[in-house]
Amino acid sequence: MRIFIAGATGAVGKRLVPLLTKAGHSVTATTTRRAKVEGLRSMGADAVVADLLDKDRITSAVMAARPDVVVHQASGLASMRSLKHFDDEFRTTNRLRTEGTETLIAAARLAGASRFVAQSYTGWPNERAGGRLKTEADRLDPNPPKNMTKTLNAIRKLEEMVTSSSDLVGAVLRYGSFYGQGTSLAPGGELFEAVRRRSLPIVGKGCGVWSWIHIDDVAHATKCAIEQDVSGVFNIVDDEPAEVSIWLPYLAEAIGAKPPFHVPEWIGRIAVGESGVSMMTKIRGSSNAKVKCVLGWKPIYPSWREGFQGLANAK
Ligand SMILES: NC(=O)c1ccc[n+]([C@@H]2O[C@H](COP(=O)([O-])OP(=O)(O)OC[C@H]3O[C@@H](n4cnc5c(N)ncnc54)[C@H](OP(=O)(O)O)[C@@H]3O)[C@@H](O)[C@H]2O)c1
């Protein structure tokens, strides 16, 4: 199969590209930086330097690759520093999710591709009411914190564009929160180091429910979606959604850090803003029943409990 991946050098891309080339697929992979071309070639891909926000450049790159499947994995999250100014931190990612997706879908059509697979996110976008676990059939949050509104709108737009196309079979992969090599929850990563420094406290009762996913499971699930002719939205998460009050102390112990502090919500609001407090106290987790049934995918790490144990050695 011929596969075009926009944004192939990140946490996901570095895991995904070798899986695809080893399986015999012909992969064309993009980076915006010349310095990363060799890395893509060493994973067996044809490398292209192209910015997804440069419509002409990306369109000609997709057309030259003549792919069967186009995959959108471009995001601007690597330098994310704080949850407080959420929409500001996501500004580039939101453009990549809206303008970028529009450009890539149009290019896929012109190039004669039949399928499209895009990265989305699950966790905080779930409605923060009712049960602790949501499926793809449940509605997204109708009333998100104000500073997450633009980001949620960009997610909605991406998902609508990908799944409403009549001439492309579109799959949206709503990844849970990443951990493992190359993500912010690995040694040197933002989240990992905050837990190690004891600077990520449990806010309020820590009732926010998180759905985690190991980066290797992200890559395997994505390969599965690329290889099958499926459309729709799929949660890519592990089997054990868990409250912050449960996973955060466990994580601290697993990486040899002291237990997290507890702070009341009003202090949390000053430190991490409305969005951060919501993620610590209100968000809901996500079910993976649909992807298991439709794609036949199963996580290698069914629970973050096993996955977190290996984190101290991940790079
Ligand atoms: N789902 C989640 O858990 C979540 C949520 C928030 C944050 N994070 C963190 O954010 C990261 C997400 O991993 P990821 O693989 O999705 O992202 P990533 O590691 O940041 O990689 C992003 C990819 O997008 C490409 N890219 C960036 N700007 C581009 C542009 N204008 N045009 C085309 N491509 C562009 C990058 O390529 P070049 O740099 O080579 O151009 C790179 O290949 C992890 O560190 C994760 O921990 C994850």
| Residue 3: pLDDT over 80 | yes
Task: List the residue whose alpha carbon is closest to atom 38 of ligand 1.
Answer: 31
Q: Which CATH class is domain 2-313?
A: alpha beta
- Give residue ranges with CB within 6 A of ligand 1: 6-13, 30-33, 36, 51-53, 73-78, 80, 96, 121, 175, 177-178, 183-184
Q: Among 5, 19, 32, which is best to mutate for testing ligand 1, by the most ligand atoms less than 8 A from CB?
A: 32
Task: List the residue whose alpha carbon is closest to atom 1 of ligand 1.
Answer: 177
Closest atom of ligand 1 relative to the 52 alpha carbon: 32
The predicted-structure confidence for 246-268, as pLDDT tens digits, reads as follows: 999 999 999 999 999 999 999 99
Encoded amino acid at 65, one letter: A
d(CA 174, CA 184): 18
Mean pLDDT in residue range 122-127 = 98
**Ligand 1 midpoint to CA 10 (Å):** 5
- Per residue, the 3-state secondary structure of the chain, as one string, reads CEEEEECCCCHHHHHHHHHHHHCCCEEEEEECCHHHHHHHHHCCCEEEECCCCCHHHHHHHHHHHCCCEEEECCCCCCCCCCCCCHHHHCHHHHHHHHHHHHHHHHHHHHHCCCEEEEEEECCCCECCCCCCEECCCCCECCCCCHHHHHHHHHHHHHHHHHHCCCCCEEEEEEECEEECCCCCCCCCCHHHHHHHCCCCCEECCCCCEECEEEHHHHHHHHHHHHHCCCCEEEEECCCCCEEHHHHHHHHHHHCCCCCCCEECHHHHHHHHHHHHHHHHHCCCEECCHHHHHHHCCCCCCCCHHHHHHCHHHCC
Q: Regarding beta strands 212-214 and 262-263, do their DSSP bridges make them parallel or antiparallel, or are they unpaired? A: unpaired
pTM (predicted TM-score): 0.96
Q: Among 34, 75, 148, 275, which is best to mutate for testing ligand 1, by the most ligand atoms less than 8 A from CB?
A: 75
- Per residue, the 3-state secondary structure of 93-138, as one string, reads HHHHHHHHHHHHHHHHHHHCCCEEEEEEECCCCECCCCCCEECCCC
**Ligand 1 midpoint to CA 130 (Å):** 32
Task: List the residue whose alpha carbon is closest to atom 4 of ligand 1.
Answer: 177
The predicted-structure confidence for 276-314, as pLDDT tens digits, reads as follows: 999 999 999 999 999 999 999 999 999 999 999 999 776
